[in-house]
Amino acid sequence: MNLNLKVWRQDSPQEKGKMVDYQLGGISEHMSFLEMMDVLNQQLIDNGERPVAFDHDCREGICGSCSMFINGEAHGPVKGTTTCQLHMRSFNDGDTIFIEPFRANAFPVLKDLVIDRSAFDRIQHSGGYISVNTSGNTQDANATPIPKENADLAMDAATCIGCGACVATCKNSSAMLFVGAKISQYALLPQGKVEAKERAQNMVAQMDSEGFGNCTNTGACEVECPKGISLTNIARMNREFLDGSVNS
Amino acid sequence: MSTKKQKLSSIGKKVLMALTGFFLMLFLLQHLSINLLSVIDADMFNEVSHFMGTNPLVQYVLQPILIFSVVFHFAWGIYLEYQNNQARDVKYAKYKGSANATWMSRNMIISGLAVLAFLAVHFYDFWLPEINVKYIQGDMSGMLHGTDHFRYHEELVAKFANQPIRVVLYVVAFVMLSFHLLHGFQSSFQSVGFNHSKYTPIIKKLGNLFAIAVPIGFVIIAIYHYNIHPH
Amino acid sequence: MSTLDGKIPAGPIKDKWTTYKDKVNLVNPANKRNIDVIVVGTGLAGGSAAATLAEQGYNVKAFCYQDSPRRAHSIAAQGGINAAKNYQGDGDSVYRLFYDTVKGGDYRSREANVHRLAEVSTNIIDQCVAQGVPFARDYGGLLDNRSFGGVLVSRTFYAKGQTGQQLLLGAYSAMNRQIARGKIKMYNRHEMLDVVIVDGKARGIIARNLVTGEIERHSAHAVVLGTGGYGNVFYLSTNAMGSNVTAGWKAHKRGAHFANPCYTQIHPTCIPRSGDYQSKLTLMSESLRNDGRIWVPAKKEDAQAIRDGKLKPTEIKEEDRDYYLERRYPAFGNLVPRDVASRAAKERCDEGYGVNATGEAVYLDFAAAIVRYGKEQATIKGENNATESRIRELGKEIVKAKYGNLFDMYKQIVADNPYETPMMIYPAVHYTMGGIWVDYNLMTTIPGCYAIGEANFSDHGANRLGASALMQGLADGYFVLPYTIGDYLSSDIRTGKISTDTKEFEEAEKHVKDRIEGLVNNNGTHSVDYYHRKLGDIMWNKCGMARNEKGLKEAIKEISELRDDFWKNVSVPGGAYELNQELEKAGRVADFLELGELFAKDALERNESCGGHFREEYVEKSGEQKGEALRDDKNYAFVSAWQHTGVPSEALLHKEELQFNDIELKQRSYK
């Protein structure tokens, strides 16, 4: 198929970027979206131009590196999918495709479609852990039974891949789904309960200082999340946070 | 882990929106109930209106809270909208908001500002004259000038009867209010941390019911008075 | 040729680690504060090591090429992690895990290391649960297990199909705690490009800041490499696009011996290639083989018709299907180990029975399982007169519950519904058992330079069992290295800060810069991918699932020529001092072009078939095992550790003889 691509090009964080048009032919519907980008880059290199920089690594939907805003949606038109798992059969011959980086002030563009998501790391540093040393003799793993329902909910929250689609898609650039998921995972497990209040306070404080917008419960994040992280995690974060604010 | 505290967190901000929202929704329900009386029984409407208009608890406690809530909810909403806008300086060339969220949820500022504009009209129609009569002219009797019966019902009717523009304005405003509530009702629960696999679907249904029924109620009142008393 | 000393502690195998720990030199807490350790790579091994060393009090500098440590490729592991907990009471024990791992590795691993691995496996589960890793649980709230890869017990702990992700996020969380305390200084988007040797010891690295292109010097008292495997030498593999051998290869060129490079695991259940544009292959958990039956058409004309799109698999009658694994290996059937299953698929496809357009695919069919489960459910629900479609419906529900996410993934990639038509699978390069040679302390032949996880060679011999990679990565990082490194660092407490203002750092930095400038100023005609694909073709065709002397000799020559061509004609657009992904790739491919040659040489040198290394010349010639791999324990029960001498094909072989005192060497039979 033949495509008309409109790709965001930006040389460095300091420079202003712009959308650039590219014509691309010979694309197979079986290609993944990133393989289509590989073809584009090969074409650019062959023409002596600079290839489009974009983040990608595992190409199987789990590392969370890929981060393209395609035709107005994070990770493109197919739900529950990362950019790398999106295939060209979701598009038609002759389509115009807008390809932009995930945008938010908290995610500055480094180059073309590559963004800096270290804000997510800093939020995790502020409380995304359980304070336990590696001794090799913590209590036996089966010493504390955990209700299956809670374990499953914790797992659902923990499947977040940290890609940032929630921020990118939110009209407010809010990171609450990401933060809510991490706070929820720990809040649902007895091991995490011990520090639950401090964790919620600290992670929310860090989130706020990174310049993300506020949540207005549009629910867009949940829809676009490639792992289907539920909005209930934001509600749980709100609860944990309020509990910590009132009872401390 | 030691705790970092901040003065007003993002969550605190949205909880304030939710709490004032809750209060305003209660007020809407109360306002509608009383106004519906105007359709059912003019005398009863007059009685209750007079009570509400002169009871010190309502006037000096509830009314200031209400005014505060209204002002706060609007000001805070506009402020948060501004702040949220600031979180993304470079906008998308293509942004397909409809793919993942309802128009209502994405456009609370539009429906909210529409309701604000309506409120200005509404205050001009009812609240300012009311304040003028009661607190400037000092007439706390509630009587129609030169008569021995209450003025409230007639004032209400006068505003709508043979006033198609005002009626249309009200209908449009209530459609916008409905949009606002369709998102706002359930959103308030989410903001204060209430989300439950069993109860949230019920809340959502209840919210939709509230968001449609309450504005329809007001619309019915306006249209009723427009039609019933043709001059 | 010389013999290498693995520094294995004396004593009975079950006491070696305990005795070692009791006697090992320790560094006192006050001194740890004055010691710096560099950890390169933040996967399960590197991440867990960085966190634990920082907890202990060392100053850790951790490096990863990804934008966050959480994205290391350990994250993609699906199935699970083994541990000898025996929670199921099915007779598991440390010895059994030890035994299974040595046997599964086709008797080419170091006994003492494997036993230690089995011993600490139970600690890993305790540690991870304490960290909040949400392992699957049963309705009683206790941890659930599944069985995996042809062993006789259920010892695999799992978190849905995302066990690697959850374990990595656990290690990442432990790192976060130390980053917050300032004990780990994290360098994201940094790539190690050389190791710096001062007075014969590893004292630092040269790294490139991948955002600015700046070349940085970092010093430390020890350098730990947790940089993963080198499967991407094949171009197409299940590894991440960025997975590379560069860190290990640089260490190799500075004096670290590279062990058993030819031991590669080809995983049987991957989604087949769909065209030449393919950039990577996707694995589907081995657990699918528990219920799926593998087959190809029995008639070549049927296979041809399927390839031409004239016939559908569901139209082929039962008697015209060849369930070749069940036919060849009646005892284990579809559950034979990975290497055996992969070779059998290749054999059928080479014979012309392959099924997708490329001719490189076999079927993995769930139709029988759906009916079997459906009948079971009908009985349970008391639906004795259930129709065929009702039975299929019930069966599909069970299959969905067990493999739903994998089926969804398959559907997304192939656009075929595996509930209705058989899946297509084909083997793909997945894991490299070979790696940097390390002794019992996990130290390479460069003093002060350690290698952990997939980057080293030690625990899996010639073939790795399912769910053992995660175990090894975390064992090395959480429980082994933090002890063994202290033994070395205890002599460094008076050294003080290592200066980066020395001629050794200067020399290494210049070396790195020269190479980068050479690449960006080459102005050639071919892209980096062009060479990577060519290398991949040579590797896959001549050093892949089956190897022979002629092919390997050709491979050595061809790779060498390709490498020369690369340095003459590669084109790297963009500059050295900016974010330049083509430059990153170029450096990695340049190293693969050297490793590939050593790989082929190693395969050529090993005149036997063992585990993932299958030499067509060395097969059973007759009897029941005819055509199966033929190991040569008399002449090849050793580790091949290669010393760099300049050109890969002229590397010097050192042998570490493998002693098997606790396990009897047998032929692996799955008939």
- In the block, tokens 């060679």 appear at C457
Residues A148 and A211 in one domain: yes
Q: Which of C48, C132, C277 sits opposite A185 (nearest CB)?
A: C132
Query: If you average pLDDT over residues B61-74, what whole number do you get?
Result: 95
Residues C240 and C280: their CA atoms lie apart, in Å, by: 8
Q: Which of A104, A195, A232 sits opposite B88 (nearest CB)?
A: A104
Q: Is C210 in contact with C588 (CB distance < 8 Å)?
A: no
Range list of H helices, chain A: 33-46, 118-125, 148-158, 165-169, 176-187, 190-193, 196-209, 220-224, 232-246
Q: What is the pLDDT along chain A (248 residues), one digit of tens a residue?
A: 999 999 999 999 999 999 999 999 999 999 999 999 999 999 999 999 999 999 999 999 999 999 999 999 999 999 999 999 999 999 999 999 999 999 999 999 999 999 999 999 999 999 999 999 998 778 999 999 999 999 999 999 999 999 999 999 999 999 999 999 999 999 999 999 999 999 999 999 999 999 999 999 999 999 999 999 999 999 999 999 999 888 86
Q: Which of B4, B14, B92 sits opposite A100 (nearest CB)?
A: B92
Q: What is the pLDDT of residues C318-376, one digit of tens each?
A: 999 999 999 999 988 998 888 889 999 999 999 999 998 889 999 999 999 999 999 99
How near does any CA of chain B get to the CA of A237, in Å?
7
Domain end residue (candidates: C405, C428, C451): C428
Query: If you average pLDDT over residues C158-169, what whole number do you get?
Result: 94
Q: Which residue of A has its CA nearest to B88?
A: A104
Q: What is the pLDDT of residue C401?
A: 83
Q: Which tokens in the block code for residue C507?
A: 């020399």
Residues A153 and A105 in one domain: no
B56 lies in which domain range? 10-85+105-228
Residues A134 and A241 in one domain: yes
Q: Is B197 exposed, middle or buried, given 0-12, 13-18 or 19+ CB atoms closer than 10 A?
A: exposed
Q: Is B109 in contact with B79 (CB distance < 8 Å)?
A: no
Q: What is the pLDDT of residues C193-237, one digit of tens each?
A: 999 999 999 999 999 999 999 999 999 999 999 999 999 999 999
Residues A44 and A24 in one domain: yes
Helix C111-130 vs helix C16-23: crossing angle, to nearest 10: 70
Q: Is residue C622 part of a domain?
A: yes
Q: Looking at the whole model, is its pTM more than 0.90?
A: yes
DSSP calls for C510-545: HHHHHHHHHHHT---SB-HHHHHHHHHHHHHHHSSS
3-state secondary structure of C654: strand
Q: Which of A39, A145, A162 sits opposite C70 (nearest CB)?
A: A162
Contact A219 B101 (CB under 8 A): yes
Contact C136 A81 (CB under 8 A): no
Q: Is C119 in contact with C94 (CB distance < 8 Å)?
A: yes
Chains that touch B (3 or more CB pairs under 8 A): A
Is the model's pLDDT at B230 over the cut of 70?
no
Q: Is C338 a catalytic residue?
A: yes
The total number of structural domains that make up chain B: 1
Q: Which residue of A has its CA nearest to C77?
A: A62
Q: Is residue C31 part of a domain?
A: no
Q: Which of A35, A31, A77, A80 is nearest to A56 (CA)?
A: A35
Residues C299 and C405 in one domain: yes
Average pLDDT of the residues of chain C: 95
H/E stretch holding B77: helix B63-86
Helix and strand counts by DSSP (H, E) for chain A: 9, 7
Residues C606 and C655: their CA atoms lie apart, in Å, by: 12
Task: Round the CA-based radius of gyration of chain B to a whole number and report it.
Answer: 20
Q: Which of C450, B32, C144, C48 is nearest to A151 (CA)?
A: C144
Q: Is residue B179 part of a domain?
A: yes
Residues C53 and C159: their CA atoms lie apart, in Å, by: 26
Interface test with A, best of B83, B90, B105, B109 (most A CBs within 10 A): B90
Domain end residue (candidates: A68, A84, A111): A111
Note whether A47 contacts C: Cβ–Cβ < 8 A: no
Q: Which tokens in the block code for residue A151?
A: 């374990």
Residues B218 and C8: their CA atoms lie apart, in Å, by: 86
How near does any CA of chain A get to the CA of C451, in Å?
20
Residues A226 and A134 in one domain: yes
Per-residue pLDDT band for C150 (boundaries 50, 70, 90) equals low
Per-residue pLDDT band for C149 (boundaries 50, 70, 90) equals low
Note whether A4 contacts B: Cβ–Cβ < 8 A: no
Q: Is residue C606 part of a domain?
A: yes
- Which chain C residues have a beta carbon less than 8 Å from that of A78? 412
Domain end residue (candidates: A111, A144, A159): A111
- Residue-wise over C256-295: b if at least 16 C-beta within 10 A, else e? bbbbbbbbbbbbbbbbbbbeebbbbbbbbbbbbbebbbbb
H/E stretch holding A97: strand A96-101
The total number of structural domains that make up chain C: 2
Residues C405 and C507 in one domain: no
Q: How many CA atoms lie within 13 A of C497 on its CB side?
A: 4
Q: Which of B126-140, C291-305, C364-378, C544-558 has the lowest mean pLDDT?
A: B126-140
Q: What is the pLDDT of residue C117?
A: 98
Note whether A218 contacts B: Cβ–Cβ < 8 A: yes
Q: Which of C123, C279, C578 sits opposite A38 (nearest CB)?
A: C279
- Which chain A residues have a beta carbon less than 8 Å from that of C176? 121, 124-125, 128-129
The one-character DSSP state at A160 is -
- Which chain C residues have a beta carbon less than 8 Å from that of A46? 527
- List the strands of the sheet with C36-40, edge to edge: C184-187, C59-63, C36-40, C222-225, C449-451
The pairing of strands A3-9 and A96-101 is parallel
Per-residue pLDDT band for B231 (boundaries 50, 70, 90) equals very low
**A window 50-89, beta carbon within 8 A of B:** 69, 71-73, 77
Residues C300 and C295: their CA atoms lie apart, in Å, by: 13
3-state secondary structure of B31: helix
Q: Is residue B95 part of a domain?
A: no
Q: Which of A214, A231, A242 sits opposite B190 (nearest CB)?
A: A231
Q: Is C453 in contact with C44 (CB distance < 8 Å)?
A: yes
Residues A31 and A40: their CA atoms lie apart, in Å, by: 12
Residues B180 and B183: their CA atoms lie apart, in Å, by: 6
Number of A/B CB contacts below 8 angstroms equals 162
Q: What is the pLDDT of residues C390-403, one digit of tens each?
A: 999 999 998 988 88
Q: Is residue C127 part of a domain?
A: no
Q: Is residue C215 part of a domain?
A: no
Contact A217 B100 (CB under 8 A): no
First to last CA, chain C: 38
Residues A96 and A166 in one domain: no
Which position among C96, C110, C293, C338 bears the catalytic label? C338
Q: Is residue B4 part of a domain?
A: no
Residues C227 and C64: their CA atoms lie apart, in Å, by: 9
Per-residue pLDDT band for C1 (boundaries 50, 70, 90) equals low
Residues A105 and A167 in one domain: no
H/E stretch holding C553: helix C549-569
Q: CA B62 → CA B34, B35, B36, B73, B141, distances in Å?
A: 16, 18, 21, 16, 20
C303 lies in which domain range? 267-428
Q: Is residue C153 part of a domain?
A: no
How near does any CA of chain B get to the CA of A8, in Å?
9
The one-character DSSP state at A69 is E
CATH code of residue C561: 1.20.58.100
Q: What is the pLDDT of residues C271-291, one digit of tens each?
A: 999 888 999 999 998 889 889
Q: What is the pLDDT of residue B46?
A: 94
Residues A77 and A170 in one domain: no
Q: Which of C25, C51, C33, C54 is nearest to C496 (CA)?
A: C33
Note whether A213 contacts B: Cβ–Cβ < 8 A: yes
Domain end residue (candidates: A80, A111, A142): A111
Residues C401 and C388: their CA atoms lie apart, in Å, by: 20
Q: Is residue C318 part of a domain?
A: yes
Note whether A139 contacts C: Cβ–Cβ < 8 A: yes
User: Residue C456 is which amino acid?
Assistant: N
Q: Where do the DSSP E strands lie in C548-627?
A: none
CATH code of residue A84: 3.10.20.30
Q: Is A17 in contact with A40 (CB distance < 8 Å)?
A: no
Residues 6+ apart with CB under 8 A from C385: none
Q: Which tokens in the block code for residue A225?
A: 């999340």
Q: Is C506 in contact with C573 (CB distance < 8 Å)?
A: no
Residues A133 and A95 in one domain: no
DSSP calls for A192-243: HHTTHHHHHHHHHHHHHHTT-B------HHHHH-TT---THHHHHHHHHHHH
Q: Write phi, then psi, for B119 (nearest 5 degrees).
A: -60, -35
Residues C177 and B69: their CA atoms lie apart, in Å, by: 42
Q: Is C353 in contact with C303 (CB distance < 8 Å)?
A: yes
Q: Which residue of C has its CA nearest to A158?
A: C166
Task: Round the CA-based radius of gyration of chain A to a whole number and report it.
Answer: 20
Residues A212 and A129 in one domain: yes
A103 lies in which domain range? 3-111
Q: What is the pLDDT of residue C666?
A: 87
Residues A238 and A166 in one domain: yes
Is the model's pLDDT at C173 over the cut of 90?
yes
Ramachandran area for residue C91 (φ above 0: left; ψ -120 to 50: alpha; else beta): left
Q: Is residue C66 part of a domain?
A: no
Q: What is the pLDDT of residue C331?
A: 86
Q: Which residue of C has its CA nearest to A13?
A: C211
Residues A200 and A176: their CA atoms lie apart, in Å, by: 11
Q: Is C78 in contact with C161 (CB distance < 8 Å)?
A: yes
The total number of structural domains that make up chain A: 2
Q: Which tokens in the block code for residue C421?
A: 């038509």
